[in-house]
Amino acid sequence: MHLIKKPITHFPSFFDELFSTDFRLKSPNRLPEVPSVNVKELDNGFELSLVAPGMTRDDFQLELEDGVLTISSEIEEEDAQNNDRFTLREYKYGSFSRSFTLPDSVNLDKIDAHYKDGILLVSLPKRKEALKIPKKVISVKS
């Protein structure tokens, strides 16, 4: 028996391009390795938004330990279609974990999270002592 190897060329075939995972194209059925996050400071707290489309609120685990908030997820779901004649079949799977060291000004007891339209929104309210005191104007009397 002979093993025939495909010759290496500088120009990959259309078939290779179509089904290769080496072209860094994200499959719609796979989670990104690390979801993008925006953190915004507001007057009364911080707002953390994490982009994770195609997930549900039950897919997330949020843990708080020693002032560090960890957001993680692990999904492994087989495609429900039973088709024995598939050329390419992808599964929805993936995991990620992001950790954030919270500032001392955050009220750890009032952290809240909501998932809607592919975005996990985590509200991190500031403690009352950390809220900015509005500027007071003092009038000068004669």
Q: What is the pLDDT of residues 45-91, one digit of tens each?
A: 999 999 988 889 999 999 999 999 999 998 776 555 555 676 776 66
Total of domains in the chain: 1
> What sign results for the dihedral spanned by CA atoms 107, 108, 110, 114?
positive
Over residues 32-38, the mean pLDDT reads: 82
Q: How confident is the model at residue 111, as a pLDDT?
A: 96
Which residue range forms the structural domain that includes residue 75? Answer: 26-79+87-128
Instruction: Provide the whole-model pTM.
Output: 0.63
Residue 103 belongs to domain with CATH number: 2.60.40.790
| Least confident window among 8-22, 68-82, 119-133 | 8-22
Note whether residue 7 is domain-resident. no
109, 107, 56, 50: CA torsion to nearest 10: -160
Q: Return the pLDDT at 23.
A: 43
Grouping H, G, I as helix, E, B as strand and the rest as coil, residue 39 is strand
Output 83 or 24, whichever has higher pLDDT.
83
In a domain, 70, yes or no: yes
Report if residue 133 sits inside a domain.
no
